[in-house]
A and B are shown apart, each in its own frame.
Chain A
Amino acid sequence: MLRVLKSPKIALGLGLFLFFTLIAIIGPSIAPYSDPLKLVGTPWQHPSGKFLLGTTQQGQDVYSQLLIGTRPTLVISLISGVIATVLSVVIGVSAGFFGGIGDNLLSMLANVFLVLPALPFLIVINSYLPAGGKSNSTLLAVIISLTGWAWGARVLRAQTLSMRKRDFVDAARISGERSWRIIIFEVVPNLVPVIASSFVFTVLYAMGTYVALAFIGAIDPNAPWSWGSMLFWAQSNTAAQVGGWYWFAAPGICVALLGTSLVLLNFGIDEFINPRLRAAGLSRKGLKAAGVRSSNTLGLTPVVRKTPVPAATILEETV
């Protein structure tokens, strides 16, 4: 596993993610003002020493808003990701493992949720919630996860299908193991990379969706205070048009950076699962250093070795 950390993509992704996690933990205590809505200065001040990221149209401190908003954004995305991943593992693996009519029904359900446009569906559900429900973080995370499990379930089902007929699963079955034990101790451990990749993807999806719902005001824009809240108020006060670009840019760039870190992590996991992508990640210079002389990258997966070997040997082994 440590080998994976050497990939610059993973290192960058993990670093960024840990940075935002740290901000989520200590953000509220290092924020200059503990209430994001407190009026602390004159409106529309540009970033300066006193207000690092300027002030809003009402004179609130954008920097404090950003620090305080990190925690709910990250926590709701993570809770949503966990719930959706658990759902997708339970549904996907049992559908793939047991097969039959249950598999048909569950696959159908997953496909229906994949095709339904998620954001409009969430807007519809949220519009019916009473005012208290629109500011309930746990409820929001659950609702978002309802639309986020289907893709993972489909991928996991396909992987389980290919695993069901493997020898070690047959061996466990013949030795009299019960189904749930085979699933938990034989099948699921082999699916861990796929589950991890689907979890990271779902967290990314949940963050985008949560920010979007807050941005359009489909949920309570003030409670809990998040990056989406900042974007909502910046947009409704036309911040970008009246010169308050920093109010809009700060949370927007943070969303993009956190999103990038998750995508990079996912790339890393993909390369871990599929070594072809990893070898392809080598530069031509790296290939040369590793002893692979390729004028044409076609037809063989370059193999990285500790000691350089002549390209001819590799060709003979591969073809």
Chain B
Amino acid sequence: MPTLIRRLMFYAVTAFVAISMNFFLPHMMPGNPVQAMLAAAGPSLDHRAVAALQAQFGVGTGQSLMSQYWSYWINLLHGDLGISISHSPDTVTTVIGSSLWWTVVLVGTATVLSFIIGTLVGTIVGWRRGSVLDQVLPTATFFQAIPYFFLATVFLYFFAEQLHWFPADFKGYDTNNYVIGWNPGFIGSAVQHAILPALTIVVSSVAGWIVGMRNMMVTTMDEDYVLVAQAKGLPNRRVIYYAARNAVLPSISGFANALSFVVAGSLLTELVFSYPGLGNLLLSAVTNVDYPLIQGIFLIITFAVLAANLLADTVYVLLDPRTRQEA
């Protein structure tokens, strides 16, 4: 399938750009931030960790920039992202590994839910254009404009602190009574703690899907083939299905753009709920000036976003026969 192969090559280029920027950015900044970080954190680290960090960022080793870049790639391909300063002596890979799945499950589920709900609502609102349902749009607009973290705080305040529907101590799960693993107690507790953060992400992001789908639906309904389908006397449900199947395509190809916003919002949502995911880890890394960890998290988030985009591309190819015909 040439479409998918082309996309795959594009994602490879994007990953290459992200990895290279990750390496060159600290070298381009004024005032040598890495040296400052080592000077600040040096006394609390043992000499092996300092040596490893110096090698990673090429401080005081006398190597040329290109050979540093080369060894950065070699390390990366071995899955070695260096040592986390704030979690020393743990490596960045270990630290990220313990929070990655929290974020992937939370943000993944919430995004898929939001997309499905938004597309369904958008289809109906678009189909019934000019009716009372059009009032959904301004409401959705307002929710779209509210910052994620603000909505998160409001939810936390009302549903957890005031109404006590959900636990107010957000650590991802009940840390006192359960251990992480495939046991019903832990899973139940984790789900209970994830509902509010997930609700925040869904409510904040659903409006974009609704508006996009509705506008596309309105445009698609004017197409001749929809009129023909109607004229042939097909039941309304079939006509809506045909129109919606075509109208949903821009939503899927616009997935990449939307995902960037969802990721940004989720990072902030995690901060408000003290959720043990990548967002919180990234912010604590920023506070502790832990460059290896910041770089590692940026790379992992980028890879996750690229994977999600590839998935959306695959769905697009499955839905739109025209992309397959090129072959």
Q: Which residues of A contact B (CB under 8 A)?
A: 9, 108, 111-112, 114-121, 123-125, 127-130, 133, 151, 204, 208-209, 211-212, 215-218, 231, 235, 240-241, 245, 248, 252, 255-260, 262-264, 267, 270, 274, 276-277, 280-284, 286-287, 296-301, 319
Q: Which residues of B contact A (CB under 8 A)?
A: 10-11, 13-14, 17-18, 22, 25-26, 29-31, 33, 128-131, 134, 137-138, 141-142, 144-147, 149-150, 153-154, 156-157, 161, 215, 218-219, 221-222, 226-227, 230, 239, 256-257, 259-260, 263-264, 267-268, 271-272, 282-283, 286-287, 289, 291, 294-295, 297-298, 301-302, 305-306, 309
* Contact flag A276-B222 (CB < 8 Å), given A128-B33, A255-B150: yes
Closest to A133 in B: B30
C-alpha gap A317/B164 in the complex (Å): 61
Q: Is the CB of B218 within 8 A of A283?
A: no
Shortest CB–CB separation between residue A237 and chain B, in angstroms?
12
Closest 3 CB pairs of A and B: A259-B145, A119-B264, A252-B150
The residue from B153, B271, B289 contacting A248, defined by CB atoms under 8 A apart:
B153
C-alpha gap A28/B89 in the complex (Å): 49
* Contact flag A263-B298 (CB < 8 Å), given A115-B306, A117-B305, A298-B227: no
Shortest CB–CB separation between residue A40 and chain B, in angstroms?
25
Q: Is the CB of B268 within 8 A of A280?
A: no
The residue from B18, B25, B138, B227 contacting A299, defined by CB atoms under 8 A apart:
B227
C-alpha gap A84/B124 in the complex (Å): 35
* Contact flag A120-B268 (CB < 8 Å), given A112-B14, A256-B142: no
List 29 contacting pairs A-B, 8 Å CB cutoff, sorted by A: A108-B10, A108-B13, A111-B14, A115-B11, A115-B305, A115-B306, A116-B18, A117-B260, A117-B302, A117-B305, A120-B282, A124-B294, A127-B286, A208-B147, A215-B147, A216-B283, A217-B287, A252-B153, A252-B154, A263-B141, A267-B137, A276-B222, A280-B218, A281-B130, A297-B128, A297-B221, A298-B226, A299-B221, A299-B222
Q: Is the CB of A115 within 8 A of B157?
A: no
Q: Is the CB of B18 within 8 A of A298?
A: no
C-alpha gap A128/B218 in the complex (Å): 47
C-alpha gap A14/B230 in the complex (Å): 40
C-alpha gap A282/B128 in the complex (Å): 12
Q: Is the CB of B257 within 8 A of A256?
A: no
* Contact flag A245-B271 (CB < 8 Å), given A212-B147, A252-B150: no
C-alpha gap A215/B286 in the complex (Å): 13
C-alpha gap A231/B151 in the complex (Å): 12
Q: Is the CB of A231 within 8 A of B149?
A: yes
C-alpha gap A287/B263 in the complex (Å): 42
CB contacts (< 8 Å) of B13 on chain A: these are 108, 112
Shortest CB–CB separation between residue B288 and chain A, in angstroms?
10
Q: Is the CB of A256 within 8 A of B295?
A: no
Shortest CB–CB separation between residue A85 and chain B, in angstroms?
17
CB contacts (< 8 Å) of A124 on chain B: these are 22, 25, 294-295, 298
CB contacts (< 8 Å) of B128 on chain A: these are 297
The residue from B30, B130, B156 contacting A282, defined by CB atoms under 8 A apart:
B130
* Contact flag A300-B267 (CB < 8 Å), given A123-B286, A231-B149, A240-B157: no
Q: Is the CB of A260 within 8 A of B289?
A: no
Shortest CB–CB separation between residue A207 and chain B, in angstroms?
9
Q: Is the CB of A116 within 8 A of B14?
A: yes
C-alpha gap A282/B130 in the complex (Å): 6
CB contacts (< 8 Å) of A300 on chain B: these are 222
Q: Is the CB of B147 within 8 A of A252?
A: yes
Shortest CB–CB separation between residue A73 and chain B, in angstroms?
12
